[in-house]
């Protein structure tokens, strides 16, 4: 895992990495901004429907914006990785071109439709699982660390599956993906935990999706060569 991280950091200045970083960050922020705008607009419409004055409307609008910031922080990981699923192919190609040229020669480009499907599936799975576990998260608040630990482990598992699938999609036929998921689970979980940790570090969390995709590429090929 350390080797995969160091190799990924060493390549972060590549043009392909920079292009994917800018595109994925722009789309992620645009989606989160749309969420904020939607909440603000909904608050404004609710205020008008209730016939409240400007003061109450402003207060509700402020609450809506605060809710948008809070949801943005909670949803950033799911949205960022979902968006990354669309652009991940470029990161994987860049890593394979530099470190695994033989694998690149036999790889298949992931069609845009499949990349979008992978991204949407990743984002929806993260949202649904975390919302389903919300009562447990709340119940564990009394433990002090239980909520954070469960959130960390669950999202580490989800992220590892998502990142691994982004790479495997280039080398494994759809019909064989189910069998692939039965192998290397420990390595993917470790990858997901490392990626989740990156998402929790300010500034570095912006680079977490591309670093995660690069690390997943190294782990995938290291596993195939052992």
The model's pTM is 0.77
Contacts of 12 (CB under 8 A, 6+ apart): 207, 210, 211, 214
* List of E strands, 21-78: none
Task: Tell me how far apart the alpha carbons of residues 209 and 224 are, in angstroms, rounded to a whole number.
Answer: 23
pLDDT at 95: 92
Report helix angle 54-99 to 204-224, nearest 10.
30
Domain enclosing residue 77, as ranges: 2-224
Question: Tens of pLDDT along 72-125?
Answer: 666 667 777 777 777 878 888 899 999 999 888 888 877 777 777 877 888 788
pLDDT in tens, 49-59: 766 666 665 66
Cα dist from 21 to 43, 126, 145, whole Å: 33, 21, 32
Question: Taking a C-beta distance cutoff of 8 angstroms, is the pair 8, 218 a contact?
Answer: yes
pLDDT value, residue 46: 73
**Has residue 63 got a pLDDT over 80?**
no
Q: Which of 16-20, 158-162, 165-169, 201-205 has the lowest mean pLDDT?
A: 201-205
Percentage of the chain modeled with pLDDT above 70 = 85
pLDDT at residue 207, rounded to an integer: 85
The 3-state secondary structure of 100-152, one letter per residue? CHHHHHHCCCCCHHHHHHHHHHHHHHHHHHHHHCHHHHHHHHHHCCHHHHHHH
- How much is the pLDDT for 208? 85
Q: Report the number of distinct structural domains present in the chain.
A: 1
120: Cβ–Cβ under 8 A, 6 or more apart, which residues?
Answer: 82, 85
Mean pLDDT of 222-226: 66
pLDDT tens digits for 155-175?
Answer: 888 888 888 888 888 888 777
| Per-residue model confidence (pLDDT) at position 36 | 73
Residue 18 pLDDT > 60, yes or no? yes
Residue 226: per-residue pLDDT: 54
- pLDDT of 69 reads 64
Residues 187-206 have a mean pLDDT of 84
Residue 68: what pLDDT? 64
């Amino acid at each position: 895992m350390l080797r995969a991280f160091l190799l990924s950091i060493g390549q972060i200045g590549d043009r392909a990495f920079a292009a994917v970083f800018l595109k994925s960050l722009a789309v992620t922020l645009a989606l989160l901004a749309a969420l904020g705008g939607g909440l603000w607009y909904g608050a404004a419409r609710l205020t008008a429907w209730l016939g409240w004055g400007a003061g109450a409307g402003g207060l509700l609008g402020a609450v809506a914006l605060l809710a948008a910031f809070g949801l943005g922080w909670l949803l950033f990981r799911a949205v960022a990785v979902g968006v990354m699923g669309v652009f991940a192919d470029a990161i994987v190609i860049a890593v394979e071109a530099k470190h695994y040229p033989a694998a690149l020669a036999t790889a298949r480009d992931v069609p845009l439709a499949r990349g979008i499907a992978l991204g949407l599936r990743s984002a929806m799975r993260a949202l649904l699982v975390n919302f389903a576990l919300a009562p447990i998260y709340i119940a564990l608040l009394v433990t002090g660390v239980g909520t954070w630990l469960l959130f960390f482990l669950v999202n580490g598992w989800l992220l590892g599956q998502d990142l691994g699938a982004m790479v495997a999609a280039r080398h494994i036929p759809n019909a064989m993906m189910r069998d692939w998921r039965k192998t290397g689970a420990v390595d993917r979980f470790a990858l997901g935990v490392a990626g989740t940790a990156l998402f929790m570090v300010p500034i570095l969390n912006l680079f977490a999706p591309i670093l995660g995709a690069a690390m997943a590429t190294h782990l995938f090929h290291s596993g195939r060569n052992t």
